[in-house]
Structure 1
Amino acid sequence: MSAGAAAVVEAMAAGERRGVTPELRTAYSRSGLSHLLAVSGLHTGIVFALVNLALWWLPLFRRGHLLKNLLAAVAVWLFVAAAGFPPSAVRAAAMCTVLQAALASASEYVGLNALAAAGFGMLVWNPNWLGDISFQLSFVAVAAILAWGVPLCRRCRTRWKGVNVVVDAYLIGFVATAATAPLVSHTFGVVPLAGLAVNPLAIALAGVVVFGGALWMLAPVGFLAPAFGFVTGSAAEGISALARLTASLPGGTADYTLGGWPTAAVYAVFALATLAAWSGEPKRNVPLRT
């Protein structure tokens, strides 16, 4: 594994970004992939899935499902603590905890309600997070995924599972990138146009890096080190190559700063469009029993 790939693996799996060179950071930023270099909701979600997969056997025992959900929630928060409690990861951990509680109690899980509860709890704990760009990007991206990405995935469902996986990955990545583009432009003065196309592939490769890193931390088996290094290093090098290629494309990135009021107007239009789409859905008639 090259030094650059090792630095990217450390950044994605453990939040350690000191080894990432300025040139590579610029490439990630201009390609719209800089979110992959920080421990975020994506990384926390992968750890959440990995821990639940590793503890699949616990429900076979009496009250094992309760222990499984408790241990999974603790593991997720330990991962977030090791990363230094970045706001986006805290948001994801809070939502994962709500989901674990719903699984343990066989209750219904509503993603937007969990997102709102996570935001309220985080701002009560630390109101300064409201001005944190990672907090803002995380909540905007997840809100867009829940409001638009998930319904689009359902509408585009096909009979072929392999096609569904590819389409879902692209739609989720596209919606998250499009929703955060105005805020990225306002804050960083960059609109990563090509990032709309390459984010799904980059996220898939990042999943390999984070999954491999988390699995190695949970089960560090010495003789598997070369295999883990090859897989995670190759995926990291692939992401970096994709970032450099995207950043160098003519017209792949637009240097444009969106003003404060126009940014607010764009999100107001998004909100109104979401409400209009929801109001157009057929209502369920619930008969009243007498």
Structure 2
Amino acid sequence: MNVLISGATGLIGSALIPELEAGGHNVTRLTRSPKTAYDVRWDPEAGTIDGDLEGTEAVVHLAGESIAEGRWTPQKKQRIVDSRIKGTRLLAEKLAALATPPGVMVSTSAVGYYGDRGDEVLTEESPSGTSFLAGVCREWEAAAEPARRAGIRVVHPRLGVVLSPEGGALGTTLPIFKLGGGGKIGSGTQWVSWVALDDVVGSIVHALTNEAVEGPINVGSPNPMTNAGYTKVLGKVLGRPTVLPLPAPAVRILLGEVADALLLASQRMEPAKLKATGYAFRYPQLEGALRHLLGR
């Protein structure tokens, strides 16, 4: 297939592109700063895509302002909203207007769709939460409506906590844990819907190539862990103690609103649609995933 990808240089895009190319697919990057003749320039703020998208057979839309980096000032929150809604709507409208639209658009979303839900098991049918991130995710998914109306099969991977030593939650905290400074966050009872980067890539490829996959899909391991459980397993894999907890008030002082949204919220996702459509997780257990990712 001819696959168009936004967010190609990010954590997921950098892992996805080699996987697609190894599978014989042709990849075109949608980017603000083209570096090759095969790249297509776009500017979501200006509402422009400077290139011919005819012949595109599949799209993976990953681009968006980082949620985890920096405190959520009003300006930061607006960038989070605009980068997702404007970019998704622009791309969906351009694809819908093509003489031959692509067959599928995989447009990412996030576990934040559900908000803070305690011990509740969350499937794709569970209602959205009421938090800022939940609202962003609802609008983000809705922004792809022009593509849906054009008959494009639209898939929204609701990504859990993506594990990779190259970045994200694991990459950021790894130096602390290696020094023996790790510990549970808050009560440690909040559920973490983690997923190895390999399974994020595998899930996206599954969505691209399996016509039974449509709408939202929970992309998280079938075996989520509490924060305390996750901390214990990471310490075991690293061979380091994890006895220095970070109390909830302290993490709120350090990070502000981000703390409650990303570190203290409890989300226990069940990847019901992925399992129903035959996706086999490469790393369903946390210890095996961490040993693979960290070479331990």
When normalised by structure 1's length, the TM-score is 0.30
Give the number of the structure with larger relative contact order, counting CA–CA contacts within 8 Å between residues 6 or more apart: 1
When normalised by structure 2's length, the TM-score is 0.30
User: Which structure shows the bigger proportion of residues in helix conformation?
Assistant: 1
Larger Rg: 1
User: Which structure shows the bigger proportion of residues in strand conformation?
Assistant: 2
